[in-house]
Structures are given as C-alpha cells and as structure tokens.
A and B are shown apart, each in its own frame.
Chain A
C-alpha cells in the first residue's frame, strides 16, 4: 500500500504563473514532510520541508502547506520559471524510525516560456 501519493504524474504551467503540486499521505504517524526536486541523471535535491506542528513554511518562491486533518500537503512555486522544470517528489518521515523517507511517485513539472 502506498503511504504517500502524488496523484498527478505531470503538470504544465506557463512561465510566471503559479505551480501547485499536491501530495496525500495515509500514515498519521508521519510528522515531517519534505519536497525534493530531481533533474535527469542527478540525485534528488532538497527543496523545502515542514514539521507537523506547522501548517505553512515559506522559502523564497517556494511555499509548502500542510493540512493534517486532510493528510494533504502542497508545494506552491510562484512565479514559476523554466528552470523549475523537473520531477518533484513529496516525502514523509516518522520520528523514531531512523528518519527514513517514504516517497511519493513524483510529479513532472513543465514550465513553458
């Protein structure tokens, strides 16, 4: 059973507009969530994270929102840039399990100039 799901395999957005990537999880023990960005032939690069005690975390153009009651998080990128085109992975971890990450299947974002 997939504990972290990204239901949109791909998303296309115009440059300058907002990109919204979504992620759902089922395990209520998850208490820390992360977003990673991946270019082809490279490893995932950490973007932003949020602890379950918060509902929003912002870092420049990137904002992550967490809705614990809905077990849903989203990543907002504003404004989107062509260099943001990549695969984005949502990941979750649970304290006391060594902080292993459980990943979603990824969403491919394409930002068109």
Chain B
C-alpha cells in the first residue's frame, strides 16, 4: 500500500516568504506528527494531531509556524515570513494508534532552504 507522501520534496524560499508543506498520511492512520530535522541532527517534534484535533503543538518554534488537519487526513504545515534558521528537512509521520504499537511511519520529507 501507499506510504506517507509529502510535497513538495524541495522548496527554496526567499527570506520573508510564506510556505506551505503538505503531508498525505497512510490511509486510516489516526495520528499524524510533524518533525523538523536540522542538518546533522535527529528529528525534533513539532506538533501532533489525533484525527483533526491538534493535541500538542509544544514543539512549534514560533508563532510563525502553523499546522492544520481539517478533515483528519491530509495535513499542511505553514511557515509565515520564513527566516534562514527555518532551513531544515520537515518530516511528517503517521501512526495507526493500535494498542501496544507505537511506531510511526515517515514520509520522505520536504527540504526547505531559505535564502
């Protein structure tokens, strides 16, 4: 079956531009996560949805970052007025929320470069 897909795969934005990154999770997966991965580091948690409810946004680095999942499947991460420090790979993951199974399935990521 299809895995998690993300688009675009690569995005170059001028400083100050707004960007929108899309995530299509595995069909039927209840949970959806966004992570940010800086070069040479591990992914860091940004935000988490259960269906359409955003249950945790404690990892969002500033109020320029906004995420939504209005119908409980596709999610969009929006970054307003991008800054150079926003340059990173943005990873989306989904999970079926089955009891005892906590692995998350990751998409290929969107590499954002802010110039």
**Contact call A46/B103, Cβ cutoff below 8 A:** yes
Chain B residue with the shortest CB-CB distance to A103: B42
Q: Say which residue of B31, B40, B41, B45 sits within 8 Å of A102 (CB atoms).
A: B45
Task: Give which listed residue, A32, A36, A51, A98, contacts B31 with CB less than 8 A.
Answer: A98
Taking CB atoms, residues of chain A closer than 8 Å to B66 are none
Contacts of B67 in A (CB 8 A): none
Interface pair A98/B48, CB less than 8 Å apart = yes
A45 interfacial contact with B, CB 8 Å: yes
- Across-interface contacts of A44 in B (CB, < 8 A): 43, 91, 106
> Of residues 66 to 108 in B, which have CB atoms within 8 Å of A's CB atoms?
91, 93, 95, 97, 100, 102-108
At the interface, yes or no: A89 with Cβ under 8 Å from chain B? yes
A contact residues around B50 at 8 Å (CB): 98
- Inside 8 A of B31's CB, which chain A residues have their CB? 98-99
Interface residues of B (CB under 8 A from A): 4, 31, 33, 35, 40-45, 48, 50, 55-56, 59, 91, 93, 95, 97, 100, 102-109
- Which residues of A are in contact with B by a Cβ distance under 8 Å? 4, 6, 32, 34, 36, 41-46, 49, 51, 89, 91, 93, 97-106
List 20 A-B residue pairs with CB atoms under 8 Å apart, sorted by A's residue number. A34-B103, A36-B106, A43-B91, A43-B106, A43-B109, A44-B91, A44-B106, A45-B106, A97-B56, A98-B48, A98-B50, A99-B95, A99-B97, A99-B104, A100-B33, A100-B56, A101-B93, A101-B104, A102-B45, A104-B42
